Every structure is written in C-alpha cells, then in structure tokens.
Amino acid sequence: MILSFRNLAAARRRLRSMALPALVATVLATALGPSPAAAQQIVALVNGEPITSRDVENRTRLTAAFSRTQPQRKAVIEELIDQKVKLNQARRLGIDITDSMVERAYASVASQSGRNVSQLTAALREAGIDPQSFKTKLRADLAWRDVMQQKSPGTFQVRDADVVAALVARGETPTAKAWQYTLRQIVFIVPRGSPASLPAARMKEAEALRAKFSDCERDLALAREYSEVVVKDPVVRISTDLPPRLQQLLEKTPDGRMTPPEATAAGIEVVAVCGRKETVADLSAQREIREKLLTSRVEAQEKELLDKLRRQAIIEYR
C-alpha cells in the first residue's frame, strides 16, 4: 500500500532520493499515456461511487514513481477500491479530513523530498499525474489513520512490557528499571443525557467506595453492590508505558487502595492498585523492536478491519 500512514516516511525517502528529472523519466517510461475515451471508462463501482480508467492511470503512474516498478492493473484497481472503502468508513464515523490538513500533508511530502509544493506539483503534472489524485490518496490515508485509531485505539501503542518480552525471547537483557502494576478499573456509569445532578451523586459513591477499599481480593465485592457499576478485568501495566501524571498518581497510591475518582466519558472512574513489582523496561534504545511490533500490529488490525468493510460494501467490477 503506497504512502499508507505506516509507510509514508519510507515513500518520502524514496521520492527524496530521486532527482526531479528522474521522477519524470521513471513515470513516463513505465506508464502509457491516456486516451480520451479510456479516461471516461468506469472500471468499478464502490457503493455507487465510480472508479474510472483515468483514476487507474493516475494511480499507476504514482505507484511507478514511488516504487520504480510497474504495478499490475488489477492491483491498482483493488487499491482504489480500498481507498473508496476507507473514505466511506471515515464519513460514517464523522471523521472530517479538511483541505488544510491535506495541504499540510502534501507540503510535508514535498519538503521531505527536497522540493517545495510548486516543484512537486510541477513534477507530477509533467509526469502526467493529476496532483489532485495524489491529494485524494493523502486524504484517504489520513482518514484511515483516524478510523484505525477510533476502532482500535490500542493498536498504535506498543507497551514497554511487549518490548521486554520480545527482548527476552531474543535472549537479550533490558536494562531500564520500572514498576509493573496490576490494576482494576471501576467505572460508575453516567449515561449520556443524564441530569446534571447524577455525576455529582456518582462521584460521592465513588469516594465512599474508595474510603472503604483496602484490599483488592476482598473489597471488589463492595463495588458490585452499587448499581450501574462496571468492574473491569485486571490489567498489567509498566510504569514507563503510562503518562507522567498517572505514573505519579500510582506511585502515591499504596497497594490495595484506589486512585481519586475522575470523570471520564463513561462516568466516574477509580483505579484499584492491586499489586506492583519492580521490573525492567525499554525506554528508547530498542526502537527497532518497538517499530517492528507496531508495524506488525497495525498491519494485522488494518487487514482485518479493511476485509470486514469490503465485505459490507457493494463492489461492482465493470
């Protein structure tokens, strides 16, 4: 997937490594010029939205410019179908990628390639690539990033615990010290549209539970005595994975006790610290492992979600 959110930087590096004439020559050498009749031909429909042979030609040239290989026509059509599916899903989720966001991304690509915006636009046009088609690609990539973050927010987070496990599996020894916490999240639900008095009442209930709470194994039953309360499964977190504010809060909270109640989108939340132990964690040195884990996780989640959305879409080939 050329210029997707996970490999945009690599594509920028390839573009930067190509001289301006080379970019033009590569594209012209690997793509055929469009004919007026073919430019209007519809090759596929996605939920009623057309993909034309002109779209295919633009994407073929663009892909050839960045990958220096001539892509297969079928693969290009499938990529354009994916693009339509991604943009449709973003619209359904209310994700709005503004023109200014797209222009900033376009300017960033130009800058990373050692050009300004005008030079990039001129190079694309000379190569027979409509700059607007490139911007549509950037818009889809930006939208899909936000879709992924909404649907799978944890996908873009690689915990130090995961890096440590990968290091140990490779026979390496991490050196940074950290705390490993076992936590239980308890949420006093406040439904949307509730009267203004309810959050305050739920806050008082959370404070009352916190005052009585002193042991996770014994006192979690107390939380279940309240109505509309969710007691989540235990989770293990490494301190270096957490925001500084939460790190400080957990350091001050003894084992068996709860953090102060906090208002969240779901209601009023408290966190019980059920245990901690000293461990080791990677802070920055193991960047390669972190990036590989992130790439693998994003690719798996992306494929799963995109396959599901494609099954739900009405795709018609012409």
Per-residue pLDDT for the chain (318 aa), expressed as one digit of tens each? 333 444 444 444 444 444 444 444 444 444 334 444 444 799 999 999 999 999 999 899 888 877 777 889 999 999 999 999 999 999 998 988 899 889 988 988 888 778 889 998 998 888 888 899 999 999 998 888 888 878 766 656 666 677 777 767 766 665 667 888 999 999 999 988 888 899 999 999 999 999 999 999 888 889 989 999 999 999 998 887 788 788 889 999 999 999 999 988 889 999 999 999 988 665 554 666 767 777 777 777 788 888 999 999 999 998
Residue whose structure tokens are 């194994």: 217
Burial of 292 (0-12, 13-18, 19+ CB in 10 A): middle
Q: Which domains does the chain have, with CATH numbers?
A: 8-156+296-317 (1.10.4030.10), 175-281 (3.10.50.40)
pTM value is 0.50
- In this structure, are strands 267-281 and 262-263 parallel, antiparallel, or unpaired? antiparallel
Q: Are 53 and 43 in contact (CB under 8 A)?
A: yes
Distance CA 68, CA 72 (A): 13
Q: What H or E segment, with its residue span, contains residue 22?
A: helix 20-30
Q: Are 241 and 232 in contact (CB under 8 A)?
A: no
Distance CA 47, CA 192 (A): 33
Distance CA 110, CA 120 (A): 6
Three-state SS for 302?
helix
Nearest Cα neighbor of 11 from 138, 128, 117, 102 is 138
What's the DSSP call for residue 283? S
Q: Are 260 and 272 in contact (CB under 8 A)?
A: no
pLDDT at position 36 is 46
